[in-house]
Chain A
Protein backbone atom coordinates (compact mmCIF):
# COMPACT_ATOMS: atom_id res chain seq x y z
CA UNK A 1 0.00 0.00 0.00
CA UNK A 2 2.77 2.38 0.90
CA UNK A 3 4.53 1.55 -2.32
CA UNK A 4 1.36 2.38 -4.23
CA UNK A 5 1.04 5.66 -2.37
CA UNK A 6 4.64 6.49 -3.18
CA UNK A 7 4.08 5.68 -6.83
CA UNK A 8 0.97 7.85 -7.04
CA UNK A 9 2.85 10.67 -5.40
CA UNK A 10 5.65 10.26 -7.89
CA UNK A 11 3.24 10.15 -10.81
CA UNK A 12 1.45 13.23 -9.58
CA UNK A 13 4.50 15.42 -9.06
CA UNK A 14 7.06 14.00 -11.48
CA UNK A 15 5.63 11.87 -14.26
CA UNK A 16 2.60 13.91 -15.26
CA UNK A 17 4.31 17.32 -15.07
CA UNK A 18 7.32 15.79 -16.85
CA UNK A 19 5.22 14.50 -19.73
CA UNK A 20 3.40 17.81 -20.04
CA UNK A 21 6.53 19.93 -19.97
CA UNK A 22 8.31 17.47 -22.26
CA UNK A 23 5.51 17.71 -24.82
CA UNK A 24 5.68 21.51 -24.77
CA UNK A 25 9.46 21.46 -25.17
CA UNK A 26 9.21 18.86 -27.94
CA UNK A 27 7.05 21.14 -30.07
CA UNK A 28 9.47 24.01 -29.50
CA UNK A 29 12.54 21.89 -30.19
CA UNK A 30 11.00 20.50 -33.40
CA UNK A 31 10.63 24.05 -34.70
CA UNK A 32 14.23 24.93 -33.85
CA UNK A 33 15.61 21.72 -35.28
CA UNK A 34 13.62 22.10 -38.49
CA UNK A 35 14.84 25.64 -39.12
CA UNK A 36 18.35 24.46 -38.36
CA UNK A 37 18.04 21.55 -40.74
CA UNK A 38 16.77 23.67 -43.61
CA UNK A 39 18.22 27.14 -43.06
CA UNK A 40 21.30 26.03 -41.12
CA UNK A 41 21.21 28.49 -38.24
CA UNK A 42 20.24 28.53 -34.58
CA UNK A 43 17.12 30.69 -34.46
CA UNK A 44 17.34 32.86 -31.36
CA UNK A 45 13.95 34.36 -32.12
CA UNK A 46 12.06 31.09 -31.73
CA UNK A 47 11.02 31.75 -28.12
CA UNK A 48 9.67 35.14 -29.12
CA UNK A 49 7.91 33.64 -32.13
CA UNK A 50 6.15 31.36 -29.65
CA UNK A 51 5.19 34.41 -27.59
CA UNK A 52 4.02 36.23 -30.72
CA UNK A 53 1.68 33.42 -31.77
CA UNK A 54 0.41 32.95 -28.23
CA UNK A 55 -0.34 36.65 -27.94
CA UNK A 56 -2.81 36.42 -30.82
CA UNK A 57 -4.40 33.38 -29.22
CA UNK A 58 -4.85 35.33 -25.99
CA UNK A 59 -6.29 38.37 -27.74
CA UNK A 60 -8.73 36.19 -29.68
CA UNK A 61 -9.61 34.30 -26.50
CA UNK A 62 -10.52 37.56 -24.77
CA UNK A 63 -12.63 38.61 -27.73
CA UNK A 64 -14.43 35.26 -27.82
CA UNK A 65 -15.00 35.38 -24.08
CA UNK A 66 -16.52 38.84 -24.45
CA UNK A 67 -18.76 37.53 -27.18
CA UNK A 68 -19.79 34.69 -24.91
CA UNK A 69 -18.42 31.98 -27.18
CA UNK A 70 -17.45 28.91 -25.22
CA UNK A 71 -16.69 25.27 -25.82
CA UNK A 72 -16.98 24.24 -22.21
CA UNK A 73 -15.39 22.12 -20.77
CA UNK A 74 -12.55 22.90 -23.17
CA UNK A 75 -10.66 26.20 -22.90
CA UNK A 76 -11.75 28.89 -25.34
CA UNK A 77 -8.11 29.25 -26.41
CA UNK A 78 -8.45 26.07 -28.47
CA UNK A 79 -10.77 27.78 -30.96
CA UNK A 80 -8.52 30.82 -30.94
CA UNK A 81 -5.47 28.69 -31.72
CA UNK A 82 -5.82 28.83 -35.54
CA UNK A 83 -5.49 32.62 -35.42
CA UNK A 84 -2.27 32.29 -33.43
CA UNK A 85 -0.93 29.75 -35.91
CA UNK A 86 -1.78 31.93 -38.89
CA UNK A 87 -0.19 35.01 -37.38
CA UNK A 88 2.99 33.14 -36.41
CA UNK A 89 3.22 31.74 -39.95
CA UNK A 90 2.58 35.11 -41.57
CA UNK A 91 5.13 36.95 -39.48
CA UNK A 92 7.70 34.19 -40.13
CA UNK A 93 7.17 34.36 -43.87
CA UNK A 94 7.23 38.14 -43.86
CA UNK A 95 10.49 38.18 -41.88
CA UNK A 96 11.98 35.53 -44.13
CA UNK A 97 11.18 37.61 -47.20
CA UNK A 98 12.43 40.85 -45.72
CA UNK A 99 15.42 39.59 -43.73
CA UNK A 100 16.68 36.06 -44.20
CA UNK A 101 16.15 35.73 -47.96
CA UNK A 102 18.69 38.47 -48.63
CA UNK A 103 21.38 36.56 -46.73
CA UNK A 104 20.35 33.30 -48.39
CA UNK A 105 20.90 34.84 -51.81
CA UNK A 106 24.27 36.14 -50.65
CA UNK A 107 25.12 32.75 -49.18
CA UNK A 108 26.10 34.43 -45.90
CA UNK A 109 27.69 32.49 -43.06
CA UNK A 110 25.34 30.92 -40.49
CA UNK A 111 26.60 33.41 -37.91
CA UNK A 112 25.08 36.28 -39.91
CA UNK A 113 21.71 34.53 -39.86
CA UNK A 114 22.07 34.04 -36.12
CA UNK A 115 22.75 37.74 -35.55
CA UNK A 116 19.82 38.63 -37.80
CA UNK A 117 17.67 36.36 -35.66
CA UNK A 118 18.76 38.40 -32.62
CA UNK A 119 17.42 41.49 -34.39
CA UNK A 120 14.16 39.68 -35.04
CA UNK A 121 14.10 38.58 -31.42
CA UNK A 122 14.20 42.25 -30.36
CA UNK A 123 11.50 43.11 -32.86
CA UNK A 124 9.06 40.36 -31.87
CA UNK A 125 9.78 40.79 -28.18
CA UNK A 126 9.10 44.52 -28.46
CA UNK A 127 5.88 44.00 -30.38
CA UNK A 128 4.59 41.46 -27.87
CA UNK A 129 5.41 43.69 -24.90
CA UNK A 130 3.97 46.69 -26.66
CA UNK A 131 0.69 45.02 -27.47
CA UNK A 132 0.03 42.82 -24.46
CA UNK A 133 2.52 44.06 -21.87
CA UNK A 134 5.31 42.30 -20.01
CA UNK A 135 3.15 40.90 -17.22
CA UNK A 136 2.10 37.41 -16.34
CA UNK A 137 -1.23 36.45 -17.87
CA UNK A 138 -3.46 33.44 -17.43
CA UNK A 139 -5.98 32.82 -20.16
CA UNK A 140 -7.26 29.34 -19.40
CA UNK A 141 -10.97 28.84 -18.78
CA UNK A 142 -13.27 25.83 -18.94
CA UNK A 143 -13.02 22.81 -16.67
CA UNK A 144 -9.98 22.54 -14.47
CA UNK A 145 -9.40 18.85 -13.97
CA UNK A 146 -9.65 15.64 -15.90
CA UNK A 147 -9.04 13.63 -12.74
CA UNK A 148 -9.57 15.21 -9.34
CA UNK A 149 -7.61 14.33 -6.21
CA UNK A 150 -10.71 13.55 -4.16
CA UNK A 151 -12.27 11.43 -6.90
CA UNK A 152 -9.06 9.50 -7.24
CA UNK A 153 -8.78 8.96 -3.50
CA UNK A 154 -12.38 7.79 -3.24
CA UNK A 155 -12.00 5.47 -6.19
CA UNK A 156 -8.77 3.86 -5.05
CA UNK A 157 -8.85 4.30 -1.30
CA UNK A 158 -5.26 5.48 -1.31
CA UNK A 159 -3.94 8.21 0.93
CA UNK A 160 -2.28 10.04 -1.92
CA UNK A 161 -4.35 11.51 -4.69
CA UNK A 162 -3.65 11.90 -8.36
CA UNK A 163 -4.74 15.00 -10.22
CA UNK A 164 -4.59 15.49 -13.94
CA UNK A 165 -5.35 18.99 -15.09
CA UNK A 166 -7.33 19.40 -18.27
CA UNK A 167 -4.53 21.57 -19.61
CA UNK A 168 -2.11 18.68 -19.10
CA UNK A 169 -4.38 16.29 -20.98
CA UNK A 170 -4.85 18.77 -23.79
CA UNK A 171 -1.11 19.41 -24.00
CA UNK A 172 -0.35 15.75 -24.36
CA UNK A 173 -2.98 14.93 -26.95
CA UNK A 174 -2.54 18.06 -29.05
CA UNK A 175 1.22 17.57 -29.06
CA UNK A 176 0.78 13.94 -30.00
CA UNK A 177 -1.53 14.82 -32.88
CA UNK A 178 0.80 17.54 -34.13
CA UNK A 179 3.88 15.33 -33.92
CA UNK A 180 2.18 12.42 -35.70
CA UNK A 181 0.96 14.64 -38.52
CA UNK A 182 4.41 16.19 -38.83
CA UNK A 183 6.05 12.79 -39.14
CA UNK A 184 3.51 11.59 -41.69
CA UNK A 185 4.16 14.76 -43.65
CA UNK A 186 7.95 14.34 -43.53
CA UNK A 187 7.96 10.61 -44.23
CA UNK A 188 5.16 10.13 -46.70
CA UNK A 189 4.55 13.25 -48.77
CA UNK A 190 6.64 14.40 -51.70
CA UNK A 191 7.14 17.85 -50.17
CA UNK A 192 8.09 16.35 -46.82
CA UNK A 193 10.62 14.06 -48.43
CA UNK A 194 12.05 16.95 -50.41
CA UNK A 195 12.52 18.85 -47.14
CA UNK A 196 14.41 15.94 -45.65
CA UNK A 197 16.46 15.67 -48.82
CA UNK A 198 17.27 19.38 -48.75
CA UNK A 199 18.27 19.21 -45.09
CA UNK A 200 20.44 16.17 -45.84
CA UNK A 201 22.30 17.57 -48.85
CA UNK A 202 21.18 20.89 -50.25
CA UNK A 203 23.56 20.81 -53.22
CA UNK A 204 22.25 17.48 -54.40
CA UNK A 205 18.69 18.65 -53.78
CA UNK A 206 19.35 21.52 -56.18
CA UNK A 207 20.69 19.06 -58.76
CA UNK A 208 17.49 17.08 -58.40
CA UNK A 209 15.44 20.17 -59.18
CA UNK A 210 14.13 20.73 -55.65
CA UNK A 211 13.24 24.40 -55.28
CA UNK A 212 14.97 25.77 -52.14
CA UNK A 213 12.52 28.66 -51.77
CA UNK A 214 9.64 26.21 -51.62
CA UNK A 215 11.42 24.13 -49.00
CA UNK A 216 12.13 27.24 -46.94
CA UNK A 217 8.50 28.33 -47.29
CA UNK A 218 7.29 25.03 -45.85
CA UNK A 219 9.94 25.15 -43.14
CA UNK A 220 8.60 28.49 -41.85
CA UNK A 221 5.04 27.28 -42.26
CA UNK A 222 5.73 24.34 -39.99
CA UNK A 223 7.98 26.25 -37.59
CA UNK A 224 5.33 28.96 -37.18
CA UNK A 225 2.64 26.36 -36.53
CA UNK A 226 4.76 24.50 -34.01
CA UNK A 227 5.74 27.72 -32.24
CA UNK A 228 2.16 28.95 -31.87
CA UNK A 229 0.92 25.55 -30.67
CA UNK A 230 3.84 25.09 -28.25
CA UNK A 231 3.43 28.61 -26.88
CA UNK A 232 -0.31 28.26 -26.41
CA UNK A 233 -0.03 24.89 -24.68
CA UNK A 234 2.68 26.21 -22.37
CA UNK A 235 0.61 29.28 -21.58
CA UNK A 236 -2.53 27.26 -20.91
CA UNK A 237 -0.67 24.90 -18.61
CA UNK A 238 1.38 27.51 -16.76
CA UNK A 239 0.96 31.14 -17.73
CA UNK A 240 1.97 33.59 -20.43
CA UNK A 241 4.85 35.95 -19.77
CA UNK A 242 7.03 37.25 -22.62
CA UNK A 243 10.26 36.90 -20.66
CA UNK A 244 9.55 33.28 -19.72
CA UNK A 245 9.10 32.48 -23.37
CA UNK A 246 12.45 33.99 -24.18
CA UNK A 247 14.02 31.90 -21.42
CA UNK A 248 12.45 28.74 -22.84
CA UNK A 249 15.06 29.03 -25.59
CA UNK A 250 17.59 27.37 -23.34
CA UNK A 251 15.78 24.08 -22.61
CA UNK A 252 14.50 24.06 -26.19
CA UNK A 253 17.99 24.36 -27.63
CA UNK A 254 19.27 21.85 -25.11
CA UNK A 255 16.60 19.40 -26.29
CA UNK A 256 17.30 19.97 -29.98
CA UNK A 257 21.06 19.63 -29.60
CA UNK A 258 20.76 16.71 -27.22
CA UNK A 259 18.72 14.75 -29.75
CA UNK A 260 21.02 15.68 -32.62
CA UNK A 261 20.24 19.01 -34.22
CA UNK A 262 18.37 18.75 -37.49
CA UNK A 263 16.88 15.42 -36.44
CA UNK A 264 13.14 15.63 -35.63
CA UNK A 265 12.96 12.33 -33.76
CA UNK A 266 15.98 13.40 -31.74
CA UNK A 267 14.28 16.67 -30.81
CA UNK A 268 11.42 14.75 -29.22
CA UNK A 269 13.63 12.37 -27.29
CA UNK A 270 15.81 15.30 -26.24
CA UNK A 271 12.79 17.28 -25.06
CA UNK A 272 11.52 14.53 -22.78
CA UNK A 273 15.03 13.91 -21.46
CA UNK A 274 15.46 17.57 -20.55
CA UNK A 275 11.97 17.82 -19.06
CA UNK A 276 12.31 14.71 -16.92
CA UNK A 277 15.78 15.66 -15.76
CA UNK A 278 14.55 19.07 -14.68
CA UNK A 279 11.55 17.67 -12.85
CA UNK A 280 13.28 14.73 -11.16
CA UNK A 281 16.26 16.75 -10.02
CA UNK A 282 14.23 19.62 -8.61
CA UNK A 283 11.56 17.45 -6.94
CA UNK A 284 11.65 17.24 -3.13
CA UNK A 285 11.65 13.53 -2.29
CA UNK A 286 10.91 13.78 1.43
CA UNK A 287 7.29 12.66 1.31
CA UNK A 288 8.05 10.07 -1.34
CA UNK A 289 10.77 8.48 0.79
CA UNK A 290 8.59 8.51 3.88
CA UNK A 291 6.40 5.86 2.27
CA UNK A 292 9.33 3.67 1.38
CA UNK A 293 11.79 3.73 4.26
CA UNK A 294 11.33 2.72 7.89
CA UNK A 295 10.26 5.50 10.21
CA UNK A 296 13.64 5.80 11.88
CA UNK A 297 15.31 6.59 8.54
CA UNK A 298 12.89 9.30 7.72
CA UNK A 299 14.77 12.23 6.18
CA UNK A 300 14.63 15.50 8.06
CA UNK A 301 15.19 17.79 5.10
CA UNK A 302 13.37 18.09 1.80
CA UNK A 303 15.69 15.68 -0.04
CA UNK A 304 15.74 17.99 -3.00
CA UNK A 305 18.80 17.64 -5.18
CA UNK A 306 18.58 21.14 -6.57
CA UNK A 307 16.29 24.05 -5.84
CA UNK A 308 13.80 24.86 -8.60
CA UNK A 309 15.51 28.23 -8.99
CA UNK A 310 18.30 26.36 -10.71
CA UNK A 311 16.26 24.34 -13.15
CA UNK A 312 18.00 26.07 -16.04
CA UNK A 313 21.25 24.68 -14.76
CA UNK A 314 19.90 21.18 -15.36
CA UNK A 315 19.22 21.66 -19.07
CA UNK A 316 22.50 23.43 -19.35
CA UNK A 317 24.57 20.73 -17.68
CA UNK A 318 22.92 18.07 -19.83
CA UNK A 319 23.68 20.18 -22.88
CA UNK A 320 27.35 20.62 -22.06
CA UNK A 321 27.89 17.00 -21.10
CA UNK A 322 26.31 15.78 -24.33
CA UNK A 323 28.27 18.21 -26.43
CA UNK A 324 31.50 17.12 -24.83
CA UNK A 325 30.85 13.39 -24.95
CA UNK A 326 28.96 13.13 -28.20
CA UNK A 327 28.78 16.36 -30.21
CA UNK A 328 26.35 14.90 -32.71
CA UNK A 329 23.69 14.25 -30.07
CA UNK A 330 21.90 11.02 -29.21
CA UNK A 331 20.77 10.48 -32.76
CA UNK A 332 23.31 11.59 -35.24
CA UNK A 333 22.50 15.16 -36.11
CA UNK A 334 24.23 17.39 -38.52
CA UNK A 335 27.79 18.43 -37.80
CA UNK A 336 28.97 21.24 -39.99
Chain B
Protein backbone atom coordinates (compact mmCIF):
# COMPACT_ATOMS: atom_id res chain seq x y z
CA UNK B 1 0.00 0.00 0.00
CA UNK B 2 1.15 3.53 -0.71
CA UNK B 3 2.40 5.88 2.01
CA UNK B 4 -0.82 7.90 1.85
CA UNK B 5 -3.71 6.08 0.27
CA UNK B 6 -7.31 7.20 -0.02
CA UNK B 7 -9.48 4.34 -1.22
CA UNK B 8 -12.95 4.40 -2.75
CA UNK B 9 -14.01 7.66 -1.18
CA UNK B 10 -17.71 8.50 -1.56
CA UNK B 11 -19.31 11.52 0.06
CA UNK B 12 -19.59 15.28 0.08
CA UNK B 13 -21.86 17.80 1.78
CA UNK B 14 -25.05 16.62 3.47
CA UNK B 15 -26.88 14.40 1.01
CA UNK B 16 -25.00 15.47 -2.09
CA UNK B 17 -22.29 13.01 -3.09
CA UNK B 18 -19.58 14.98 -4.79
CA UNK B 19 -17.04 12.16 -4.65
CA UNK B 20 -17.94 8.79 -6.06
CA UNK B 21 -15.63 5.87 -5.50
CA UNK B 22 -12.60 8.10 -5.83
CA UNK B 23 -9.14 6.74 -5.00
CA UNK B 24 -5.90 8.69 -4.71
CA UNK B 25 -2.51 7.76 -3.33
CA UNK B 26 0.99 9.17 -3.06
CA UNK B 27 4.41 7.92 -1.95
CA UNK B 28 7.08 9.68 0.06
CA UNK B 29 9.40 11.66 -2.16
CA UNK B 30 6.81 11.85 -4.88
CA UNK B 31 4.40 14.42 -6.21
CA UNK B 32 0.84 13.44 -7.03
CA UNK B 33 -1.32 15.93 -8.89
CA UNK B 34 -5.10 15.98 -9.15
CA UNK B 35 -6.44 17.72 -12.25
CA UNK B 36 -9.84 17.93 -13.85
CA UNK B 37 -12.55 20.31 -14.96
CA UNK B 38 -14.34 22.74 -12.65
CA UNK B 39 -16.68 21.08 -10.23
CA UNK B 40 -15.00 17.70 -10.62
CA UNK B 41 -14.52 17.41 -6.86
CA UNK B 42 -10.78 18.07 -6.76
CA UNK B 43 -10.84 20.31 -3.70
CA UNK B 44 -13.48 18.11 -2.08
CA UNK B 45 -11.16 15.13 -2.46
CA UNK B 46 -8.37 17.06 -0.72
CA UNK B 47 -10.68 18.14 2.09
CA UNK B 48 -11.91 14.59 2.51
CA UNK B 49 -8.35 13.25 2.74
CA UNK B 50 -7.52 15.85 5.36
CA UNK B 51 -10.70 15.18 7.34
CA UNK B 52 -12.32 18.55 6.77
CA UNK B 53 -15.31 16.66 5.36
CA UNK B 54 -16.26 13.20 6.56
CA UNK B 55 -16.72 10.61 3.84
CA UNK B 56 -19.58 8.14 3.86
CA UNK B 57 -17.73 5.24 2.32
CA UNK B 58 -14.12 4.36 1.73
CA UNK B 59 -11.09 4.81 3.93
CA UNK B 60 -7.87 6.73 4.16
CA UNK B 61 -4.61 5.13 5.22
CA UNK B 62 -1.40 6.78 6.30
CA UNK B 63 1.58 4.43 6.59
CA UNK B 64 -0.92 1.57 6.60
CA UNK B 65 -2.88 3.01 9.53
CA UNK B 66 -6.58 3.80 8.99
CA UNK B 67 -6.99 7.51 9.75
CA UNK B 68 -10.52 7.89 8.31
CA UNK B 69 -12.08 8.73 11.66
CA UNK B 70 -9.46 11.21 12.86
CA UNK B 71 -10.11 14.96 13.11
CA UNK B 72 -7.97 17.35 11.05
CA UNK B 73 -6.03 18.28 14.19
CA UNK B 74 -5.21 14.64 14.85
CA UNK B 75 -4.12 14.24 11.24
CA UNK B 76 -1.79 17.22 11.71
CA UNK B 77 -0.25 15.37 14.64
CA UNK B 78 0.20 12.31 12.41
CA UNK B 79 2.35 14.36 10.04
CA UNK B 80 -0.09 15.73 7.51
CA UNK B 81 -0.12 19.39 6.50
CA UNK B 82 -2.65 21.24 4.39
CA UNK B 83 -2.44 24.54 2.53
CA UNK B 84 -5.93 25.79 1.66
CA UNK B 85 -6.54 27.56 -1.62
CA UNK B 86 -7.56 30.91 -0.11
CA UNK B 87 -7.13 32.60 3.24
CA UNK B 88 -4.10 30.46 3.86
CA UNK B 89 -2.04 32.93 5.91
CA UNK B 90 -2.71 34.83 9.13
CA UNK B 91 -2.89 38.28 7.56
CA UNK B 92 -2.46 40.26 10.79
CA UNK B 93 0.51 38.26 12.04
CA UNK B 94 4.11 38.71 10.93
CA UNK B 95 5.75 36.22 8.60
CA UNK B 96 7.73 34.74 11.46
CA UNK B 97 4.65 34.48 13.68
CA UNK B 98 2.88 32.68 10.84
CA UNK B 99 5.66 30.10 10.82
CA UNK B 100 5.55 29.80 14.62
CA UNK B 101 1.80 29.15 14.46
CA UNK B 102 2.47 26.43 11.92
CA UNK B 103 4.64 24.75 14.54
CA UNK B 104 2.07 25.28 17.29
CA UNK B 105 1.78 21.63 18.17
CA UNK B 106 5.52 21.04 18.41
CA UNK B 107 7.15 21.02 21.80
CA UNK B 108 10.77 20.71 20.56
CA UNK B 109 13.07 23.38 19.20
CA UNK B 110 11.60 24.75 15.98
CA UNK B 111 14.59 26.88 15.02
CA UNK B 112 16.19 24.32 12.63
CA UNK B 113 12.89 23.88 10.76
CA UNK B 114 12.45 27.63 10.58
CA UNK B 115 15.94 27.96 9.14
CA UNK B 116 15.15 25.29 6.58
CA UNK B 117 12.02 27.16 5.51
CA UNK B 118 13.99 30.40 5.29
CA UNK B 119 16.57 28.58 3.19
CA UNK B 120 13.85 27.29 0.88
CA UNK B 121 12.14 30.69 0.66
CA UNK B 122 14.87 33.31 1.21
CA UNK B 123 12.39 36.16 0.70
CA UNK B 124 10.57 35.11 3.86
CA UNK B 125 13.73 35.56 5.88
CA UNK B 126 14.11 39.03 4.49
CA UNK B 127 10.48 39.91 5.33
CA UNK B 128 10.17 37.90 8.52
CA UNK B 129 9.04 40.89 10.60
CA UNK B 130 6.51 42.13 8.08
CA UNK B 131 2.77 41.63 8.44
CA UNK B 132 1.77 38.80 6.12
CA UNK B 133 -1.23 40.72 4.83
CA UNK B 134 1.09 43.29 3.29
CA UNK B 135 2.95 40.80 1.09
CA UNK B 136 2.39 40.15 -2.60
CA UNK B 137 0.32 37.17 -3.74
CA UNK B 138 3.33 35.01 -4.56
CA UNK B 139 5.04 35.81 -1.28
CA UNK B 140 1.89 34.97 0.60
CA UNK B 141 1.78 31.56 -1.03
CA UNK B 142 5.33 31.03 0.15
CA UNK B 143 4.30 31.95 3.68
CA UNK B 144 1.38 29.55 3.39
CA UNK B 145 3.59 26.68 2.26
CA UNK B 146 6.22 27.62 4.82
CA UNK B 147 3.62 27.58 7.61
CA UNK B 148 2.56 24.08 6.56
CA UNK B 149 6.15 22.85 6.47
CA UNK B 150 6.76 23.95 10.06
CA UNK B 151 5.32 20.73 11.46
CA UNK B 152 7.96 18.76 9.54
CA UNK B 153 5.17 16.96 7.73
CA UNK B 154 5.54 13.69 5.88
CA UNK B 155 2.59 14.62 3.67
CA UNK B 156 2.11 18.12 2.24
CA UNK B 157 -1.24 18.84 0.63
CA UNK B 158 -1.59 21.94 -1.55
CA UNK B 159 -4.93 23.17 -2.88
CA UNK B 160 -4.16 25.14 -6.06
CA UNK B 161 -0.98 26.79 -4.78
CA UNK B 162 -0.56 28.82 -7.97
CA UNK B 163 -4.07 30.26 -8.16
CA UNK B 164 -3.81 33.98 -8.75
CA UNK B 165 -0.02 34.23 -9.03
CA UNK B 166 1.94 35.22 -12.10
CA UNK B 167 3.40 32.58 -14.48
CA UNK B 168 6.91 33.51 -13.38
CA UNK B 169 6.08 32.92 -9.74
CA UNK B 170 4.33 29.67 -10.68
CA UNK B 171 7.55 28.33 -12.13
CA UNK B 172 9.41 29.38 -9.01
CA UNK B 173 6.85 27.78 -6.70
CA UNK B 174 6.98 24.53 -8.63
CA UNK B 175 10.73 24.51 -8.25
CA UNK B 176 10.36 24.82 -4.51
CA UNK B 177 7.78 22.08 -4.43
CA UNK B 178 10.25 19.82 -6.26
CA UNK B 179 12.82 20.66 -3.59
CA UNK B 180 10.33 19.75 -0.87
CA UNK B 181 9.64 16.43 -2.56
CA UNK B 182 13.37 15.70 -2.79
CA UNK B 183 13.53 16.07 1.00
CA UNK B 184 11.35 12.98 1.20
CA UNK B 185 7.93 14.54 1.64
CA UNK B 186 4.87 13.12 -0.08
CA UNK B 187 3.31 16.02 -1.98
CA UNK B 188 -0.33 15.93 -3.05
CA UNK B 189 -1.72 18.88 -4.93
CA UNK B 190 -4.67 20.12 -6.90
CA UNK B 191 -3.76 22.28 -9.89
CA UNK B 192 -5.48 24.37 -12.53
CA UNK B 193 -2.28 24.67 -14.54
CA UNK B 194 -2.70 21.03 -15.45
CA UNK B 195 0.02 20.79 -18.07
CA UNK B 196 2.73 22.43 -15.98
CA UNK B 197 1.73 20.46 -12.93
CA UNK B 198 1.76 17.12 -14.71
CA UNK B 199 5.25 17.89 -15.95
CA UNK B 200 6.61 17.81 -12.41
CA UNK B 201 4.25 15.09 -11.18
CA UNK B 202 5.20 11.50 -10.50
CA UNK B 203 1.56 10.48 -10.45
CA UNK B 204 -1.45 12.20 -11.97
CA UNK B 205 -5.18 11.78 -11.39
CA UNK B 206 -7.82 13.14 -13.70
CA UNK B 207 -11.11 13.55 -11.83
CA UNK B 208 -14.43 13.99 -13.58
CA UNK B 209 -17.69 14.34 -11.61
CA UNK B 210 -16.00 12.90 -8.57
CA UNK B 211 -14.71 9.76 -10.26
CA UNK B 212 -11.23 8.70 -11.33
CA UNK B 213 -11.33 9.12 -15.10
CA UNK B 214 -7.63 8.61 -15.85
CA UNK B 215 -4.62 7.96 -13.74
CA UNK B 216 -0.98 7.22 -14.35
CA UNK B 217 2.44 8.82 -14.27
CA UNK B 218 2.56 12.49 -15.13
CA UNK B 219 4.36 11.68 -18.32
CA UNK B 220 1.88 9.04 -19.47
CA UNK B 221 -1.04 11.38 -18.93
CA UNK B 222 0.66 14.14 -20.87
CA UNK B 223 1.11 11.68 -23.74
CA UNK B 224 -2.43 10.32 -23.58
CA UNK B 225 -4.27 11.78 -26.58
CA UNK B 226 -7.68 11.81 -24.92
CA UNK B 227 -6.42 13.53 -21.79
CA UNK B 228 -4.68 16.10 -23.94
CA UNK B 229 -7.76 16.73 -26.04
CA UNK B 230 -10.26 16.92 -23.19
CA UNK B 231 -8.31 18.43 -20.35
CA UNK B 232 -5.13 20.01 -21.58
CA UNK B 233 -6.54 21.98 -24.48
CA UNK B 234 -5.05 19.95 -27.35
Assess A201 versus B90: contact at CB under 8 Å? Given A207-B76, A207-B82: yes
User: Nearest Cβ distance between residue B59 and chain A, in whole angstroms?
Assistant: 22
Contacting chain B: which of A115-123, A188-196, A293-301? Answer: A188-196
Interface pair B87/A210, CB less than 8 Å apart: no
Q: How large is the interface on B (under 10, 10 to 19, 20 to 34, 35 or more residues)?
A: 20 to 34
Q: Per-residue 0/1 for B83-94: is the Cβ within 8 Å of any A Cβ (1 yes, 0 no)?
A: 010011111110
B105 on the interface (CB 8 Å rule)? yes
User: Nearest Cβ distance between residue B234 and chain A, in whole angstroms?
Assistant: 37
Q: Which A residues lie within 8 Å of B91 (CB)? A: 200-201
Q: Which A residues lie within 8 Å of B89 (CB)? A: 201, 204
Interface pair B104/A190, CB less than 8 Å apart: yes
Picked from B73, B88, B101, B151, the residue with its CB within 8 Å of the CB of A197 is B101
**What is the bound-complex CA distance between A209 and B153, given in angstroms?**
13
B11 on the interface (CB 8 Å rule)? no
**What is the bound-complex CA distance between A306 and B218, given in angstroms?**
75
Assess A193 versus B73: contact at CB under 8 Å? Given A204-B87, A210-B104: no
Q: Which A residues lie within 8 Å of B90 (CB)? A: 196-197, 200-201, 204-205
Q: Name, among B82, B89, B90, the residue most crowded by chain A CB atoms within 10 Å (CB to CB).
A: B90
**What is the bound-complex CA distance between A206 and B84, given in angstroms?**
12
Residue of A nearest to B81 (CB): A207
User: Nearest Cβ distance between residue B144 and chain A, in whole angstroms?
Assistant: 9
Interface pair A193/B93, CB less than 8 Å apart: yes
Q: Which A residues lie within 8 Å of B87 (CB)? A: 201, 203-204
User: Nearest Cβ distance between residue A266 and chain B, in whole angstroms?
Assistant: 12
A208 on the interface (CB 8 Å rule)? yes
Q: Which B residues lie within 8 Å of A194 (CB)? A: 101, 104
Interface pair B84/A203, CB less than 8 Å apart: yes
B147 on the interface (CB 8 Å rule)? yes
Picked from A201, A203, A208, the residue with its CB within 8 Å of the CB of B104 is A208
User: Nearest Cβ distance between residue B182 and chain A, in whole angstroms?
Assistant: 24
Assess A193 versus B88: contact at CB under 8 Å? Given A208-B102, A209-B104: no
Q: Which B residues lie within 8 Å of A209 (CB)? A: 73, 76-77, 104-105, 151
Interface pair A193/B77, CB less than 8 Å apart: no
Q: Name, among A194, A196, A208, A211, the residue most crowded by chain B CB atoms within 10 Å (CB to CB).
A: A208
Please report B residues at the A interface, Cβ cutoff 8 Å: 72-73, 76-77, 82, 84, 87-93, 97, 100-102, 104-105, 147, 151
Q: List 5 A-B contacts (CB under 8 A).
A: A201-B89, A207-B82, A207-B84, A208-B104, A209-B73
**Sample of 20 further A-B pairs with CB below 8 A, known A197-B93, A197-B101, A200-B91:** A193-B93, A193-B100, A193-B101, A196-B90, A196-B92, A196-B97, A200-B92, A200-B93, A201-B91, A204-B84, A204-B87, A204-B88, A206-B73, A207-B82, A208-B76, A208-B102, A208-B105, A209-B77, A210-B104, A211-B73
